[in-house]
Structure formats: structure tokens, C-alpha cells
Amino acid sequence: MREASIKRKTNETDIELSLCLDGTGKCEIDTGCGFLNHMLELFARHGRMDLTVKCVGDTQVDYHHTVEDIGIVLGKAFAEAVGDKRGITRYGSMILPMDETLILASVDISGRAYLNYDLSIPCSTVGEMDTELVEEFFISLVRNSDITLHIKQLEGKNSHHIIEGAFKAVARALRQAVTVDEALGGEIPSTKGLL
């Protein structure tokens, strides 16, 4: 099983997270932010990753540190769980419709951190969470997992749908990318021999 458990404590957040890439989408999420809980539950289910997150953060300030730090820890856990990347498909993409919204997510488990984030979210908050924190989450995830990720909004007006579509599309793209390709025979999917 490709899995990782990480604990990270700072003056702003105390996080315990466990991730299994070869799961069924089971999750237990408690971030202190209802909307973020919902997004991480979707992420686990659509990625077929088992995910447990417990975070106590300085939410009396706002949700910035909580969202950013969970992205950091999830990225680190993903990198640890995927290991040396032997035999994985490496690439994944999804164009995901959600009512009026259409989101493209494309990922390369490349060993190079890069995010192209192209979402235009009309509202400044959804639930209790500032929508600008969606980008902060994905920045932290990408930097700490060393993946290349493109998220592009092709259509969409409803803020909730846009964000939810992004989390679902990214999860499904990652699910494709981490799938073990038996035809590779355990090789690293790169002409360099290293990712």
C-alpha cells in the first residue's frame, strides 16, 4: 500500500494527516472549516484516496493558515506515498462538468513543482472561507508534492460549483496519474530514469 502519515505543529496549526493512494475514498476530515471539510471529502472520494485530516488552527484570525498548512501536509504526504514513482502512469487529466461549470485539470507527477491556476471565482467567500484561499491550497499542495498542475475554468458562474469542480477534477486527474501501469514493469516513466 502506498501510504503516508504526517504530523506538523506550528504556532498557527496542529495537523495530523494520513493518506493512502490505494484506497476507496474513505475519509475522516476535521479542519475547523466546514467548506474545506467538504472539499477534502470530495477530493478523497473522487481520487479514491483514503484520507484522514485533523487540524486545530488559529481560526479566530481567519482560515488562511489552516488552508495553507493542510495543503503543505497533504503535498508532503502525497510525495511520500507515491515514493520513487516506479510504474505509475505519471500523467492524468480530467474535464469535469458541474452544472454550468466546466473545469479542466491536468497533472504530471514530474518532480517539478509548477501551478497554472486559472479560476475566476465571482464571490469573495463561500461558506466561511475566503475564495482566494483555494489558490493558496493548490500552491501549497504543488510545492510540497513536486507535481505540475494546471487548473483551468472553461465555464462557470457559481462560486461553489467552480471550487468544487476544481477539487473533483484535480482528484480525478491525480487518481489517473498515480495508477500503476503494469506495462511499465516497474520502470520509472521518464527517459531520464528519474522523476
pLDDT of residue 165: 98
180 to 66, 170, 173, 195: CA distances (angstroms): 32, 18, 14, 15
Strand pairing partners for 108? 91, 148
- Digit-coded pLDDT (tens) for 3-55: 999 999 999 999 999 999 999 999 999 999 999 999 999 999 999 999 999 99
Distance CA 184, CA 162 (A): 36
pLDDT of residue 59: 95
- Digit-coded pLDDT (tens) for 85-111: 999 999 999 999 999 999 999 999 999
| End-to-end CA, the chain | 20
**Radius of gyration of the chain measured on its C-alpha atoms:** 16
Query: So what's the architecture of 3-184 in CATH?
Result: 2-Layer Sandwich (3.30)
pLDDT of residue 184: 86
Q: Which of 127, 17, 11 is nearest to 58 (CA)?
A: 11
Domain map (residue ranges) of the chain? 3-184
Are the CB atoms for 104 and 176 separated by under 8 Å? Answer: no
- Digit-coded pLDDT (tens) for 134-169: 999 999 999 999 999 999 999 999 999 999 999 999
Q: Read off the pLDDT band of 123 (50, 70, 90).
A: very high
